[in-house]
Amino acid sequence: MNSLDSEHLMSELKTHKDYIQTDNISDADLIIINTCSVREKPVQKLFSELGSLNKVKKEGAKIGVCGCTASHLGKDIIKRAPYVDFVLGARNVSKIKDIVDIKGAVEVDLDYDESTYSFASNGHSIYKTSANISIGCDKECTYCIVPFTRGDEVSIPLELLVSQIQKSVESGVVEVMLLGQNVNNYGKRFSDGSTKSSFTHLLKEISKIDGLQRIRFTSPHPLHMDDEFIEEFATNPKICKSIHMPLQSGSTKVLKEMKRGYTKEWFLNRALKIKDLVPDVRISTDIIVGFPTESHEDFLDTMDVIEKVRFDQIFNFKYSPRPNTAALSLESIVSDEEASKRLEEVITLHKIHQEELLHQNIGKTMKVLFEELKPNSEISGFSDNYIQVYVKGSEELLGKILDVKITGATRTVLKGEII
Ligand code: 5AD
Ligand code: SF4
């Protein structure tokens, strides 16, 4: 989502303000840092990064801070780093073309609704595009700062999405990534109060776009993975068979304290149903270890779910206390040392699964969309179930979806031959 926000920032500045991109910081007239605030570390890094940018920037060049830390710290950023020219919150991206010329401007309005704003087209990849289907988040996960930086959830109107994706397809795009904090809560609220819709309905409508070959989405919430959704995921041939299922914790007790809305059993039931219906599915997840109330037993529940589901990819985090969140007031029973140990255990178990799962693909045939030239006359792309695959080949393969016979695997990617 942050990458797409960055692309929107760039395309708005290119289209409306004549900026062009440079890779050389000392050439830049404008430097923007797009920030995350989900954990504390990136927030700390922001100020050291700002300090070094201020030293290397060209005389008179502007610096802007955008994104979730901008929403969260607002004008305090300029207080701490007075050479920052403007601050633009994660829910105010469309205001970039106005704010860029106003020294000292701070736009962090959490109620601002840009759900019907048409961003200038970004064209980062000629084969793939991304589209926000909703902004903000209505959940209240007790560890999470996002609802305080991105505001309430508002869905983007279906017609707008379909016409935007259709336009991209007309210019050669074959794959779309639908983005939202909570994609499968789509359609619960539109800014004009129009009729309710659902994520499954949206998927069906987007699939009707001629020429669009692949649909991906992230992130769905395990709570909203009803049978209708799983059925559509399993049977719609345009929907890629890879899914992110953010577990967070395997303990029903901790899940309740996190206010996730589901139990260990519900999560397992959904994940195993998906695996059953879609044998080649690739499942990724997010896990937080060291939540303040996580006992050793709770942690073992998390390990148990990892063992039962065997995730293809795990993004694991040590709990980081965040301002405004409900969990901030909980006293922690987990030492930092214990949290690090748990993190290591998750990583070690996952590595075993990851390697086994990847090697099971050897000998299979996969459809790969080729996207990137690599050294040594290789070219890479992603399979339908989102594994990176390398083959020998050159430019004429770019943008094509071809059958590849898998001949080998490293720990994270596959090697193959076009058949
Ligand atoms: N501490 C650690 N990880 C967090 N995440 C969100 N908030 C926190 C926090 N306070 C993780 C969750 C989420 C992912 C994007 O970041 O796992 O799914
Ligand atoms: Fe944060 Fe929970 Fe919303 Fe995800 S669903 S963005 S974890 S509040």
Tens-binned pLDDT, residue by residue, of the chain (419 aa): 999 999 999 999 999 999 999 989 999 999 999 999 999 988 889 999 999 999 999 999 999 999 999 999 999 999 999 999 999 999 999 999 999 999 999 999 999 999 999 888 766 678 999 999 999 999 999 999 999 999 999 999 999 999 999 999 999 999 999 999 999 999 999 998 877 899 999 999 999 999 999 999 999 999 999 999 999 999 999 999 999 999 999 999 999 999 999 999 999 999 999 999 999 999 999 999 999 999 999 999 999 999 999 999 999 999 999 999 999 999 999 999 999 999 999 999 999 999 999 999 999 999 999 999 999 999 999 999 999 999 999 999 999 999 999 999 998 999 999 99
Q: Does residue 127 line the site of ligand 1, with CB under 6 A? A: no
pLDDT at 123: 63
Atom of ligand 2 nearest to the CA of 181: 6
Domain 365-418 has CATH 2.70.98.10: no
State how far the Cα of 66 lies from the Cα of 3, in Å rounded to an integer.
12
Distance 138 CA to ligand 2 centre (A): 8
How many whole angstroms separate alpha carbon 60 and alpha carbon 196? 49
Tokens 């903000």 map to which residue? Answer: 136
Q: Is 320 in the pocket of ligand 1 (CB under 6 A)?
A: yes
Q: Rounded distance, CA 270 to CA 127, Å?
A: 32
Closest ligand to Cα 316: 1
Q: Residue 82, CB half-sphere, CA atoms under 13 Å: how many?
A: 0
**Domain 241-358: which topology?**
Transcription Regulator spoIIAA (3.30.750)
Spell 13-49 as b/e; 16+ CB within 10 A means b.
beeeeebeeeeeeeebebbbbbbbbbbeebbeebeee
Reply yes or no: is the peptide bond before residue 219 cis, omega within 30 of 0.
yes
Closest CA to 249 of 235, 260, 239, 240: 260
Q: Whose CA is nearest to atom 5 of ligand 1?
A: 38
Q: Cα(8)–Cα(91) distance, rounded to whole angstroms?
A: 12
CB 175 within 8 A of CB 127: yes
How remote is the CA of residue 122 from the centroid of ligand 2, in Å?
27
286 lines ligand 1 (CB under 6 A): yes
Domain ranges in the chain are 2-107, 125-240, 241-358, 365-418
Q: Hey, which of 1, 134, 148, 181 would you mutate to test ligand 2's pocket, going by the most ligand atoms within 8 Å of its Cβ? A: 181
Q: Is residue 144 in contact with ligand 1, taking CB distance under 6 Å?
A: yes
- Ligand 2 pocket (Cβ < 6 Å) reads 137, 139, 141, 144, 146-147, 181-182, 221
Atom of ligand 1 nearest to the CA of 321: 10
CA 353 to chain centre: 23
Give the whole-angstrom CA distance, residue 100 versus residue 15: 14
DSSP of 357-383: HHHTTTT-EEEEEEEEEETTTEEEEEE
Q: Check for a shared fold between 241-358 and 365-418.
A: no
Long-range contacts of 335-344 (CB under 8 A, 24+ apart): 336/290, 338/290, 339/289, 339/290, 342/289, 342/290, 342/294, 342/299, 343/289, 343/290, 343/316, 343/317, 343/318
Does ligand 1 have an atom closer than 6 angstroms to the CB of 246? yes
In the reported structure, the alpha carbon of residue 408 is separated from the centroid of ligand 1 by a whole-number distance in angstroms of 34
Cα distance between residue 294 and residue 333, in whole Å:
7
CA contacts within 13 A on the Cβ side of 369: 18
This prediction has a pTM of 0.95
CA count, 13 A, side-chain hemisphere, 175: 24
Separation of 317 CA from ligand 1 center, angstroms? Answer: 7
Distance from the alpha carbon of residue 300 to the mean position of ligand 2, in angstroms: 23
Is any atom of ligand 1 closer than 6 Å to the C-beta of 381? Answer: no
Q: Which CATH architecture has domain 2-107?
A: 3-Layer(aba) Sandwich (3.40)
Q: Is the CB of 382 under 6 A from ligand 1?
A: no
What class has domain 125-240? alpha beta
